[in-house]
């Protein structure tokens, strides 16, 4: 074939104390066999390392990419951020909400006060970027996110899985789903999963599949897998691979939106709580400490609020 189906995959929220882990994949039909590489020219201001382009509370650019890609997926125009998350989610809402304790589903899933951040002009500019990429042989087709909430992360810990395993298994899942939909082999490029240079022993959905190692090292680990195609884990992929860059930007927006819901849920009881990012920082530490008594009074399970460290027994 003279084109390849490629997916760029990255994670957002691997290391925080609070909020979900988001793993996002962006799929494209790419002319020829070469990797797309990184964005060029003025597009670099809108497509690169998400840590440099967006920040907590300022993720309009990631939202713009999500909205522009969703339009290419020919889904109904999302009327709210929550509807856009639903369109991008790899799982239906009922699956995502299944572990929620009674009376506390709103902590993560009440989107009534969500607001779009990106203006129409920014979305139009990003749509123009997608048109330019298509002219260069990179036809972006779709995006999908695996959302793993705090409770499911803690359930993984109870089964002996680290957050790195949960991240890796979500990446495998997105690659396999892309292969299923495409009906032919795909090439998946993923951000490096911390803690691994050799991945095969840690595979979940791909565990036990026949594979050949194409490379294993600190910078890149790659595997040829019959029935999938090829999957590689690349250091700094969000800086070097434009599909991974898109995935990281979209995932950053999704995580920020879901974290903002958590903050709003607890501020409804105590308006003085700070705007926490959920990461290991002083503001998040204050948020955790200041909300502790109210969470206890409301009978919100700790496992639905704060991640447990791997190997730490449940109190």
Q: What is the pLDDT of residues 7-44, one digit of tens each?
A: 999 999 999 999 999 999 999 999 987 788 888 889 99
Instruction: Report how far Cα 293 is from the mean position of its chain's Cα atoms.
Output: 31
CA distance 271 to 291: 11
Q: Is residue 283 part of a domain?
A: no
Helix (H, G, I), strand (E, B) or coil at 23: strand
* Strand ranges (E), 180-296: 186-191, 212-216, 220-225, 229-234
Q: Is residue 310 part of a domain?
A: no
At residue 307, the pLDDT reads: 96
Q: Residue count of the chain, please give it.
A: 315
At residue 315, the pLDDT reads: 39
Q: Is 113 exposed, middle or buried (0-12, 13-18, 19+ CB in 10 A)?
A: exposed
At residue 69, the pLDDT reads: 97
CA-based R_g, the chain, Å:
19
At residue 313, the pLDDT reads: 43
Q: Is residue 294 part of a domain?
A: no
Residue ranges making up the domain that contains 225: 3-260
At residue 102, the pLDDT reads: 87
Which CATH number does the domain housing residue 196 bear? 3.30.420
Residue (of 53, 4, 310) closest to 187 by Cα position: 4
Q: Is residue 143 part of a domain?
A: yes
The count of structural domains within the chain is: 1
Which residues of the chain are modeled with pLDDT < 50? Answer: 313-315
Q: Structure pTM?
A: 0.95
At residue 35, the pLDDT reads: 82
Q: Is residue 219 part of a domain?
A: yes
């Amino acid at each position: 074939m003279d084109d390849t189906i490629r997916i760029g995959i990255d994670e957002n929220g691997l290391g925080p104390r609070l909020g979900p882990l988001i793993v996002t994949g962006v799929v494209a039909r790419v002319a020829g066999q070469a990797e797309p590489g990184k964005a060029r020219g003025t597009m670099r201001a809108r497509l690169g390392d998400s840590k440099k382009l967006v920040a907590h509370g300022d993720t309009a650019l990631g939202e713009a990419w999500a909205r522009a890609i969703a339009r290419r997926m020919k889904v109904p125009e999302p009327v709210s951020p929550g509807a856009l998350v639903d369109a991008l989610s790899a799982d239906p809402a009922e699956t995502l909400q299944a572990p929620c304790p009674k009376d506390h589903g709103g902590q993560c899933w009440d989107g009534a006060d969500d607001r779009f951040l990106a203006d129409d002009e920014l979305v139009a500019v990003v749509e123009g970027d997608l048109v330019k990429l298509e002219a260069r042989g990179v036809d972006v087709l779709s995006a999908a996110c695996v959302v793993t909430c705090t409770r499911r992360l803690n359930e993984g810990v109870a089964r002996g899985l680290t957050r790195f395993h949960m991240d890796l298994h979500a990446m495998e899942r997105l690659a396999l789903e892309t292969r299923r939909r495409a009906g032919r082999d795909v090439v998946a490029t993923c951000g490096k999963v911390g803690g691994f240079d050799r991945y095969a022993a840690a595979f979940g959905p791909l565990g036990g599949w026949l594979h050949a190692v194409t490379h294993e090292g600190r910078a890149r680990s790659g595997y040829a897998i019959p029935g999938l195609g090829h999957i590689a884990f690349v250091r700094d992929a969000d800086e070097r691979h434009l599909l991974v860059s898109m995935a990281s930007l979209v995932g950053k927006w999704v995580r920020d939106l879901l974290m903002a819901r958590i903050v709003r849920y607890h501020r409804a009881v105590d308006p003085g709580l700070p705007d926490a990012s959920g990461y290991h920082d002083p503001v998040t530490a204050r948020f955790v400490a200041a909300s502790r008594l109210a969470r206890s009074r409301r009978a919100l399970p700790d496992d639905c609020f704060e991640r447990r460290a791997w190997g730490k027994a449940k109190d």
